[in-house]
């Protein structure tokens, strides 16, 4: 049987580190209503203002982490694709990006043209957010419907607490945690608090509470990104046998003046350095492939900040990338989907 494709979807990347390519990428990304959830005229004005200076700044950041083969995110996702191929006997294994290339609509068109009839869509995001999972699933569904591609779509659901994912995190991080260190910071991507509030079925949830969604209903937890991140961190710490006080959670990549979920990674880096931590390990479990947010934001800027605050060494624990246990875990999760 070769008519059932596996489609791995990641966020995406500029085509190059040129300012023009970065501007094109940022425009597509920021104009997504699931990313900046404001009315179109307001969003267009805001993004136009952002695009005055941001592309040049971002181009410099991308250039600092770019590999000879291209964007680390795309290169690593392709490596994962190649590693997955022997594990998926049902049909082709393809990758697509929500923004940039290879574009999700064109990959779906190509699969349909090849005679594929079923697609298991795997958004490569462990935790749920509209700005990651929903935008991918909705674009895929709209493409299939509008272009009458006749594809039967199955979707891998967020896997933030699935044992296979947690075990893969543990296997990939264990060599780093086997060394002496003072503290482990689990830094997840941040979100504006309003993204969570608009999905809150209770209308009363406090997204800043330390044990966010600890006793929440399944319905609430299913849409609470912060709660899912905390579940991932707690499950990882338990499986690794980490003592309380040896690890903590934070949220990175804050943009603009809106209220974002806390605690902020920037603040934690300062606190830990000032509190006497000398060797800090940082993991980024919201990402399954290393990218600008891990390599540049944490690995370069975060390291500088921690050392300026009094620390001596920041070690970035690589993402799952194409780790063999992650390949096995993802295969199991996709087969189940």
**Can you say which residues are annotated as belonging to the binding site?**
189, 293
Q: How many CB atoms lie within 10 A of CB 221?
A: 18
Residue 42 main-chain phi, psi, to 5 deg: -70, -45
**What is the C-alpha to C-alpha distance for residues 176 and 333, in angstroms, rounded to an integer?**
26
Q: Token match 């912060």: residue?
A: 226
Query: In terms of residues, how long is the chain?
Result: 337
Strand partners for 187: 250
Helices and strands (H and E) in the chain: how many: 13, 8
**What is the C-alpha to C-alpha distance for residues 242 and 325, in angstroms, rounded to an integer?**
21
Residues whose CB is less than 8 angstroms from the CB of residue 233 and which lie 6 or more positions away in sequence, other chains included: 186, 188, 247, 249, 285
Q: Residue 23 in contact with residue 51, Cβ under 8 Å?
A: yes
From the annotation, which residues make up the binding site for Fe(2+)?
A: 189, 293
């Amino acid at each position: 049987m070769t008519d059932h494709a596996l489609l791995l979807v990641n966020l995406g990347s500029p085509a190059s580190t040129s300012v023009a390519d970065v501007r094109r990428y940022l425009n597509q990304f920021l104009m997504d209503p699931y990313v900046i959830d404001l009315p179109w005229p307001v969003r267009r004005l805001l993004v136009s203002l952002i695009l005055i200076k941001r592309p040049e700044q971002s181009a410099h950041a991308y250039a600092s982490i770019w590999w000879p083969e291209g964007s680390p995110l795309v290169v690593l996702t392709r490596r994962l694709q190649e590693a997955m191929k022997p594990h998926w006997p049902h049909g082709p294994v393809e990758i697509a990006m929500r923004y940039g290339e290879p574009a999700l609509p064109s990959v779906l068109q190509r699969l349909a043209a090849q005679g594929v009839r079923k697609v298991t869509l795997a958004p490569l995001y462990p935790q749920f957010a509209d700005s990651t999972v929903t935008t991918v699933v909705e674009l895929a569904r709209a493409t299939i419907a509008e272009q009458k591609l006749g594809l039967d779509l199955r979707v891998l659901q967020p896997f933030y607490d699935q044992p296979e994912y947690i075990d893969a995190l543990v296997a990939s991080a264990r060599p780093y945690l086997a060394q002496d260190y003072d503290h482990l910071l689990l830094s997840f991507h941040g979100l504006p608090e309003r993204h969570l509030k608009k999905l809150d079925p209770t209308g009363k949830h406090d997204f800043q509470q330390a044990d966010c969604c600890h006793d929440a209903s399944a319905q609430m937890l299913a849409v609470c990104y912060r709660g899912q991140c905390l579940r991932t961190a707690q499950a990882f710490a338990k499986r690794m046998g980490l003592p309380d006080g040896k690890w903590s959670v934070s949220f990175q990549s804050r943009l603009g003046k809106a209220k974002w979920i806390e605690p902020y990674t920037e603040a934690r880096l300062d606190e830990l350095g000032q509190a006497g931590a000398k060797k800090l390990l940082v993991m980024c479990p919201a990402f399954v492939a290393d990218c600008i947010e891990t390599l540049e934001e944490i690995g370069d800027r975060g390291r500088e900040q921690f050392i300026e605050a009094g620390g001596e060494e920041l070690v970035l624990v690589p993402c799952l990338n194409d780790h063999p246990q992650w390949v096995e875990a993802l295969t199991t999760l996709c087969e189940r989907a």
